[in-house]
């Protein structure tokens, strides 16, 4: 009896608490990171909160699209350690390992192409073009928008090839959307890393849900047409899909809804516990039955495919096409509607504070 009361107390606290403790930890971790930087490094890293670059992002290689902020590879070891403290504060261990694995995958990708070149599978011209894209663990960039504080908005961006983390903080609240993660290759097929799949469950649970649908359900869920070459809410878009496509969860069996929820949690649980718990509570308040699942493309792996999960409060996109059209190059994004780059908390802040 006592144990059940303790559990109930924990649940009530987690369901009603603000993010004040998490925000305090984020502020502290970011401040400690900034104190390791020299004056020249701070000039590169810290920018005004209203800088237009704060709300811009890209998933292109650094060789094709420059990033704001300081290069991760140029940081001292002390600064790198402190920056990793920021990542472990923002993310669960799952999200943190995905983030760092995506960075490491750039170095693996270089080895994959070096192997292909040495085995004469690609020409020297192609290999030189690839090297100019600057895939590299070191080529990720940190930008801080305003310095961490308790009253005024501030934020942080960390991005590079296949990664865009966008943190916005106001008072005791914070946003970490849009959150873009990608992998190339989605499954490493050569080198000593053969078999590695960094975003494995995003793919596996998607196919699990698709293949659980009946023939009649698939007719609703599967949209005809070519598989998109990228996520629809890519950096060039407005970031909104207003129409609901596919099958509504209310028309799924309980077993299928459970798979859908498992797939959604694979994205949500990248975030630290308080934020992940809050996001899932918001989704359940609106109701799992209100969520739509849509699919385009192949019904089996290693061929181009795409899915969209769209609810009243969030949107998930997953695209696995790639330049070689072999279904081995993932782009995925998590968005909380009305919260991109801290829209909601900034609106509340500016309504309550004259500037």
- 48 and 101 in contact (C-beta within 8 Å)? no
Burial class (CB in 10 A: 0-12, 13-18, 19+), 13: exposed
With CA atoms as reference, report the closest residue to 251 among 243, 260, 242.
260
* pLDDT the model gives residue 310: 98
CA distance 199 to 331: 10
Which is higher by pLDDT, 17 or 182? 182
- The pLDDT tens digits of the residues spanning 197-230 come to 999 999 999 999 999 999 999 999 999 878 998 9
Sheet strands (E) in 110-260: 141-145, 154-160, 163-170, 173-175, 179-183, 247-248
pTM of the model: 0.92
User: What is the pLDDT, as a whole number, of residue 14?
Assistant: 43
DSSP, collapsed to helix, strand or coil, labels residue 8 as: helix
Length of the chain, please?
Answer: 355
Three-state DSSP at 353 gives coil
- C-alpha span between 237 and 245 (Å, rounded): 18
- 3 state SS of 280: helix
What SS3 class is residue 97? Answer: helix
CA 151 to chain centre: 27
Q: What angle do CA 339, 72, 344 make, to 5 degrees?
A: 10
What integer pLDDT is reported at residue 353 of this predicted model? 62
3-state helix, strand, coil in the chain (%, to 5): 45, 20, 35
Q: Is 134 left (phi over 0), alpha (psi -120 to 50) or beta?
A: left
For the chain, the straight-line distance linking the first and the last C-alpha, in angstroms and rounded, comes to: 53
The Cβ of residue 239 has, within 10 Å, a number of other Cβ atoms equal to: 19
- Is the model's pLDDT at 16 over the cut of 60? no
Over range 116-128, report the average pLDDT: 96
pLDDT for the residue 237: 65
Query: What is the tens place of the pLDDT at every residue in 46-98?
Result: 999 999 999 999 989 999 999 999 999 999 999 999 999 999 999 999 999 99
Using an 8 Å Cβ cutoff, are 133 and 109 in contact?
A: no
At 6 the pLDDT is: 43
Element (H, E) at 37: none
**Model confidence at 18, in pLDDT bands (50, 70, 90)?**
low
């Amino acid at each position: 009896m006592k144990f059940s009361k303790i559990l109930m107390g924990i649940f009530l606290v987690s369901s009603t608490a603000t993010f004040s403790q998490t925000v305090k930890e984020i502020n502290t971790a970011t401040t400690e990171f900034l104190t390791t930087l020299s004056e020249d490094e701070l000039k590169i890293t810290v920018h005004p909160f209203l800088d237009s670059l704060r709300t811009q992002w890209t998933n292109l290689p650094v060789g094709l699209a420059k990033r704001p902020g300081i290069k991760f590879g140029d940081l001292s070891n002390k600064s790198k350690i402190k920056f990793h403290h920021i990542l472990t504060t923002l993310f669960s261990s799952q999200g943190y390992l995905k983030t760092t694995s995506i960075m490491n995958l750039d170095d693996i990708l270089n080895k994959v192409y070096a192997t292909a070149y040495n085995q004469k599978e690609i020409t020297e011209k192609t290999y030189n073009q690839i090297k100019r894209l600057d895939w590299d663990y070191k080529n990720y960039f940190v930008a801080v928008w305003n310095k961490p504080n308790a009253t005024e908005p501030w934020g942080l961006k960390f991005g590079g090839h296949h990664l865009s983390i966008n943190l916005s903080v106001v008072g005791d609240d914070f946003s970490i959307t849009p959150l873009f993660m990608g992998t190339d290759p989605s499954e490493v097929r050569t080198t000593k890393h053969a078999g590695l799949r960094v975003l494995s469950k995003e793919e596996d649970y998607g196919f699990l849900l698709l293949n659980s649908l009946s023939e009649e359900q698939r007719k609703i869920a599967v949209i005809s047409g070519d598989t998109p070459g990228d996520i629809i809410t890519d950096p060039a878009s407005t970031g909104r899909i207003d129409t609901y496509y596919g099958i509504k969860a209310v028309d799924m069996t309980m077993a299928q809804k459970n798979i859908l929820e498992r797939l959604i949690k694979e994205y949500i649980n990248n975030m630290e516990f308080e934020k992940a718990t809050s996001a899932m509570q918001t989704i359940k308040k609106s109701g799992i039955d209100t969520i739509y699942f849509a699919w385009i493309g192949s019904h089996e792996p290693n061929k181009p495919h795409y899915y969209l999960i769209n609810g009243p409060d969030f949107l998930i996109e997953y695209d696995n096409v790639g330049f070689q059209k072999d279904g081995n190059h993932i782009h995925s994004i998590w968005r909380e509607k009305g919260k991109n780059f801290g829209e909601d908390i900034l609106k509340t802040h500016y309504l309550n504070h004259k500037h």
